[in-house]
A and B are shown apart, each in its own frame.
Chain A
């Protein structure tokens, strides 16, 4: 006689879960992909509960794009102990709900207390759960599926018994699920509730007949007919809840449909081709469960669980992503590209947990134990059990520490200095942009009132600059190649459009791009983040536009989610109260005989499982061998070259040195020294994109090879060709190092005197508006030529600008094109083809490139008019002008020469603006050429640039009429400041060219200094 109903396995599982996840989450959760995003949303609710509009991301977006319950819960808890306290509390709650949820779900599938207890314990260490919580940080998803599992027994009971209390309970839980995660109940309906209904009908029809064999299709249909009203009433009610509880969400989805270009996600990859995605989205979530797939299928396709079998198979297939074409066909193009498919694997593995629990019970306590001990002997059985347990827990531990081995996030950034910077002197009146922050950008956003153009919930993006490209975030755009960089460039080139004034750079990769688009460094914060600033950006207006929603939606959004929780709690407390008095034994709801005792087909199952495990072991061995082969790269010349450049790319110089011929007498210190003196775009700011190695001649001991490498840099794609010699030594291939340039600079000690500038800004320490006497006059610059030109179907404005003032200027050049009726066709800024910082009397060419996009019904329009606006502000930094082109001569359409740096600062990335002129010495084209390597002080850097051989562009308009400088007409400036312009320098500046479409070229040099003194 039982005295207590407490299941000691369940208690153990919950305690284990709290200890295991509760301690580890403090080290993992903050570094997950999603947790900080939820934290950001939570902060929104904590500060403005009923206002769905957030200005913080994407120049404003609505939080009605994500169900609010979890965020609101964290937000509420944050009032007690801060945001992170809220997040950890909810995560812990999620752990408990998940473990108990698996327990209750198991009791529906296999009504056995012990099996359910085992399943609960397995749930604690299940690698899919560990991954979802500790790697992905998907809190709402976890809470959603856990509550859904809690709802399943209630649904079962409602359909079986028809007692209304069960209906209410199940509906209450469904409402909680909906308000915490919208996708879970929709797909949960299909994958969990439908098969559950099938199981109920199956049980009912089984009760009508005497044996399993008699459950025919006819009997099943009859039972279904009987239960149909209950099923329909439940279905309708839950549909109303799914729509009603988050009605504002659906309205928002309808009003702002997701029309963006799909963003690639690893779960849609072909797992065989992209093995890293296969690991993260298939191997890890399944883990040890993979070994028992035959058992799961065997059990699921037993008569009672047949419908779960269908569901499980479907989930399993959908979870394989792009490996097979089936998921794409099932879901359709649209859904396939919006959904992340990892959730199907998560659900499939959760569905398998009860059966895994059952297997473990049978293996350790039940019939399999006897069977196997008889077959294998006690020791082997115990050893294999121990092995399984260790493997299972190892998988969990491996998953939890995955973030440590393969860091998916940059190191934790101390946000306080950034928050302080934004709070200081009204810096939060402008937008900011973090670069290289990873998902920690959400944590920064949660801490500051300043807003950013970027964001971390890409479904909510609204700016066409963002939605038209498959770029998840600007912050990590370098991982999206040229497309990502292009998107970032748009924001950095036209920052005034977004009131974007500050960039926090945590990745020096983006620094050259910032420099060449006209930004300058402000300071290095204590946490190592560089602050970049753009001059002349207007602060955000006091009132910003927003998409308002009716009051009823705001009230629904703020009130319903919490009410669902309160109602469920009341319902559950009510039953607890009821039970504590009645002490009524929960009755067995169904006949259960197809369980652990059945022997049918066991022999086959045993064989298939052994065979399957064998295959799995072979596959694992194969994978391990693959890893070994990858490590032993010196077996072929190709692989050693690939490995060498890979090591250089990841700055693993010791590894790179190990591939260098040991006979070349280049020890590591010499090798490192040579590396340390190389700098520039290629060696410091490039990411290797692809490498192709061609062996040109090869014998037993020697080989020559050409490595063609494509590099992604913030400024352009670079293709390099390196010819390398290799030799074989002791069966290993080695690279023969190249000789270094023996050139030495003339002087040992150098002297340099130069003018430096400083602007106080506000001289009085006050946060009031800058005083009249502290506002500097904007420097006067003059546009000396400007033309609107057309090349193919693209339009440009080309021209030149001189700073005619006596102080250095920081210029921003905006161009606009108009049609014959003076409608604006396009507007853009000069990006990197201009020198943004000009000393007094300095001249620069500029080119503005317009990308006019035409709507479907729009015709190609040729602009007739153009306008140039130049904004100049006083510049005090980045006025480095020293790098000079030397010994320029043209040989067969190539411009050859070298750059010489006479100064004491290294020019990290030299840029040459090559301008082209027609035979009447009119400027008609300008392009930027970046030199791949740096020029160190007093050193030379030879270059050879192919000259543009395209036809001359068509000049559409050549006029200085519509040009304004700081809002004043260009003409008035030239009349007042410099009325008698001469041709001084023109003759010398132009280099004549023969046999080309153009007659002259000119070279203007500019350079990015990576480490200014």
Chain B
């Protein structure tokens, strides 16, 4: 609220002042004519940028008519019209700091009554004695370790008033990679110097910097990543090779590298494609850690042979790896009792132990397929009298890659 009051007060004050000013009479001197020789500016010399502004004195002037003068100044910052000032009996024009702190050409023109009395130009030069910093840009920020890729370093040194330095100013651009420092002496052109840095053939961090006399740039870092991978081998790791459907097999790659021997970045995806001799397909993926990928897959439930291949799509693939799984059961014990119940089991595994719970047992009966799951090695199914007429039927029982056919009499 206080702010609001203040704003209103200021606004009223400004309005009142404006009204007062517009009322004061302007005693213009119009009848006098000014000749070119009445006023002469002391020609400004080329000089260094300053943030104090520049006062340009007049060598010849007329105290009576000087108020009719206009000085048009045009610099990099823009164009403005200035008025002359008479101070201590000396007429001068003051170029403000907004103009004088930007390096470049200044054009000036002394005018009166729409006439140009005198004009000229002078240079504002960057202050090489008061340098401020080097602005560096590096990009791309990550490159690939091969002979195709490169990054670029651009250095822009500036003086304390943010002006670019003149052409041919010398500058040192450097980069460091794995302890090797490469320096190069460059000259500024159009305000900046640049350099291409070819990608090294090993991964790591490339650190860049530039120096010039007393000033230096920030440190900029470029990551060097590995190139496209080259062929690798795969192996497997499993506790046993039984097709019990309840054990994990680990598929491993050896260390995957690029053609220059660089290990692939962590998190690179490797896909393992698996085909078995029964026409089934699997795939499982893993991302690399230190170049190694470990993918897990579940053992099959039927004795079969897997053919495994590790692939990085569109780039490289491993040789095939064959894995054989053997059956855990020899036969399927089946019993059928009076109440139309079929019991499969006990199913025991290679040590005689009960097979893991949840193994599916498929019963092919008439045209239907019924799947029951084992619990404690046993699976049970009751044929519903409602849906099945009594009589003799054949049931095909399939589990863990084995099949057997039994006759059942339904009542």
Where the two chains meet, the residues of A that have a C-beta atom closer than 8 Å to any C-beta of B are 697, 741-744, 746-747, 753-755, 757, 772-773, 775-777, 784, 802, 805-808, 839-843, 879, 881-882, 884-889, 897, 900, 902, 938, 940, 976-985, 988-989, 991, 1003
What separation, in Å, do the CA atoms of A977 and B281 have in the docked complex? Answer: 32
Contact of B287 among A744, A802, A839, A885 (CB under 8 A): A839
Question: Which residues of B lie under 8 Å from residue A900 when comparing CB positions?
Answer: 284, 297-298
B297 near A985 with CB under 8 A, answer: no
A981, B316: Cα distance in complex, Å: 9
Most buried by A among B273, B279, B296: B296
**Residue in B139, B228, B283, B298 whose CB lies within 8 Å of A978:** B228
Which B residues lie at the A interface, using CB under 8 A? Answer: 137, 139-142, 144, 148-149, 218, 220-221, 225-226, 228-229, 246-248, 264-271, 273, 275, 278-285, 287-289, 295-298, 300, 309, 311-317, 356-358, 373-375, 386
By the criterion CB–CB under 8 Å, are B269 and A839 in contact?
Answer: yes
Chain A to chain B contacts (Cβ below 8 Å), 6 pairs:
A741-B373, A773-B218, A900-B297, A938-B248, A980-B228, A989-B271
Given A777-B141, A981-B314, A886:B298 Cβ within 8 A:
yes
Q: Return the chain B residue nearest A938 by Cβ.
A: B248
For A885, give the chain B residue with the smallest CB separation: B283
Please name all residues of chain A whose beta carbon is closer than 8 Å to the beta carbon of B268 when the two chains form the complex: 806, 839-841
Cβ distance B207 to chain A, nearest Cβ, rounded Å: 12
Is the pair B247, A978 in contact by a Cβ cutoff of 8 Å?
no
CA distance A902 to B220 in the complex (A): 41
- Minimum CB–CB distance for B383 against chain A, Å: 15
CB-contact partner of B142 in A746, A777, A991, under 8 A: A777
**Assembly CA distance A900 to B300 (angstroms):** 12
CB <8 Å contact, B267 and A982: no
CB neighbours of A978 from chain B (8 A)? 228, 314-315
CA distance A777 to B296 in the complex (A): 33
Whether B314 contacts A886 by the Cβ 8 Å rule is no
Chain B residue with minimal CB distance to A775?
A: B141
Most chain A CB within a 10 A radius of its CB, from B141, B266, B313, B373: B313
Q: How far is the CA of A753 from the CA of B288 in the complex (A)?
A: 10
A840:B265 contact, CB within 8 angstroms: yes
Given contacts A884-B283, A938-B248, 16 further A-B contacts (CB under 8 A): A742-B358, A743-B358, A744-B357, A746-B247, A755-B288, A777-B139, A843-B313, A843-B314, A884-B282, A887-B281, A978-B314, A981-B314, A982-B314, A983-B314, A985-B312, A989-B273
B317 to chain A: closest residue by CB: A984
Other-chain residue from B221, B226, B267 in contact with A755 (beta carbon distance below 8 A): B267
Residue in A closest to B219 when the chains form the complex, CB atoms: A773
Q: Roughly how many angstroms separate A565 CA and B38 CA in the complex, as a whole number?
A: 71
Contact in complex: B315, A1003 (CB < 8 Å) = no
- Give every chain A residue within 8 A of B386 (Cβ-Cβ): 697
Measured CB to CB, the closest approach of chain A to B242, in angstroms, equals 12
Kindly state the separation between the CA atoms of A29 and B53 in the bound complex, as whole angstroms: 65
The answer to whether A887 touches B141 (Cβ under 8 A) is: no
Q: Determine if A754 and B289 form an interchain contact, defined as CB atoms under 8 angstroms apart.
A: yes
Q: Are A940 and B267 in contact (CB under 8 A)?
A: no
Say how far B373's CB is from chain A's closest CB, in angstroms. 5
Structural contact, B273 and A988, CB atoms closer than 8 A = yes
CA distance A839 to B286 in the complex (A): 10
Q: Chain A's nearest CB lies how many Å from the CB of B233?
A: 15
**A881-B269 CB under 8 A given contacts A777-B140, A889-B279:** yes
In the complex, what distance in Å separates the CA atom of A281 from the CA atom of B281? 60
Nearest first, the 3 closest Cβ-Cβ pairs linking A and B are: A743-B358, A988-B273, A985-B311
In the assembled complex, the Cα of A884 lies from the Cα of B226 at a distance in Å of 27
Q: State A984–B318 Cα separation when bound (angstroms).
A: 9
Which residues of chain A are near B278, meaning CB under 8 Å? 889
Specify which of B270, B283, B386 lies most central, judged by the most chain A CB atoms within 10 Å of its CB.
B283
B282 near A887 with CB under 8 A, answer: yes
- Check A747/B248 contact, CB under 8 A, given A806-B264, A889-B280, A985-B271: yes
B287 touches A755 (CB 8 A): yes
For residue B203, give the distance in angstroms from its CB to the closest CB of chain A.
9
* Contact assessment for B314 and A984 in the assembled complex, using a CB-CB cutoff below 8 Å: yes
A755: chain B residues at CB < 8 Å are 266-267, 287-289
In the complex, what distance in Å separates the CA atom of A840 from the CA atom of B270? 9
Complex interface: chain B residues within 8 A of A979 (CB):
148
Choose one: B221, B225, B285, B374; the contact of A884 (CB below 8 Å): B285
Q: Across the interface, which residues of A come within 8 angstroms of B149, CB to CB?
A: 976
In contact, B265 and A807 (Cβ under 8 angstroms)? yes
| Beta-carbon contact of B283 and A840 below 8 Å | no
For A743, the closest partner residue in chain B by CB is: B358
- Interchain CB contact (< 8 A) of A840 among B267, B271, B273: B267
| Among A741, A746, A885, contact of B248 (Cβ-Cβ < 8 Å) | A746
Q: Are B283 and A940 in contact (CB under 8 A)?
A: no
The answer to whether B220 touches A773 (Cβ under 8 A) is yes
A746 contacts B246, C-beta separation under 8 Å: yes
Q: A784-B314, A802-B313, A807-B142 are in contact. Are A743 and B273 (CB under 8 A)?
A: no
CB pair B287–A888 under 8 Å, yes or no, is no
> Which B residues lie within 8 Å of A1003 (CB)?
283
Do A985 and B314 have beta carbons less than 8 Å apart?
yes
Chain A neighbourhood of B264, CB < 8 A: 806, 840
Give the interface centre of A747, A879, A977, A988 by most chain B CB atoms within 10 Å: A988
- Complex Cα spacing A842 to B312, Å: 8
Closest to A983 in B: B314
Q: How many Å lie between the Cα of A885 and that of B283 in the bound state?
A: 6
CB neighbours (8 Å) of B283 from chain A are 884-885, 988, 1003
Most buried by A among B298, B311, B314: B314
List the B residue with the shortest CB-CB distance to A839: B269
Are A773 and B221 in contact (CB-based, < 8 A)? yes
Q: A920 → chain B, closest Cβ, in Å?
A: 18
Contacts of A776 in B (CB 8 A): 141
B267 with A808: CB separation less than 8 A: yes
Residues of A within 8 A of B287 (CB): 754-755, 839-840, 879, 881
A840 to B226, CA, bound (A): 11
A988 contacts B311, CB within 8 Å? yes
Among B266, B279, B287, residue most surrounded by chain A Cβ atoms (within 10 Å): B287
B360 to chain A, nearest CB (A): 9
Q: Which chain B residues lie closer than 8 Å to A808 at the CB level? A: 267
A356-B289 Cα distance, complex, nearest whole Å: 82
CB distance from A799 to the nearest CB of B (A): 14
Q: Is the beta-carbon distance between A887 and B313 smaller than 8 angstroms?
A: no
Q: How far, in angstroms, from A420 to B357 measured CA to CA in the complex?
A: 53
Contact of A988 with B140 in the complex, beta carbons under 8 Å: no
CA distance A843 to B357 in the complex (A): 37
Q: How far is the CA of A977 from the CA of B149 in the complex (A)?
A: 8
- CA–CA, A489 to B218, complex, Å? 45
B311 and A984 within 8 A (CB): yes
Least CB distance, B307 to chain A, in whole angstroms: 9
Q: Closest CB of chain B to A902's CB: distance in Å?
A: 4
Interchain nearest-CB distance for B369 vs A (Å)? 11
Q: Which residue of A lies closest to B149 (CB)?
A: A976
For the complex, what is the distance from the CA of A560 to the CA of B281, rounded to whole Å? 77
B273 / chain A contacts, CB cutoff of 8 Å: 985, 988-989
Q: Which of B140, B267, B269, B300 contacts A887 (CB 8 A)?
A: B300
User: For residue B300, which residues in chain A have a CB less than 8 angstroms away from its CB?
Assistant: 887
Contact B358 A744 (CB under 8 A): yes
Given contacts A888-B280, A902-B248, A988-B273, contact A806 B317 (CB under 8 A): no
Give Cα A976 to B151, complex, Å.
13
Q: Closest CB-CB distance, A586 to chain B, in whole Å?
A: 46
Q: Which of A743, A777, A991 is the one whose CB lies under 8 Å from B357?
A: A743
Q: Which of B142, B220, B356 contacts A806, CB < 8 Å? A: B142
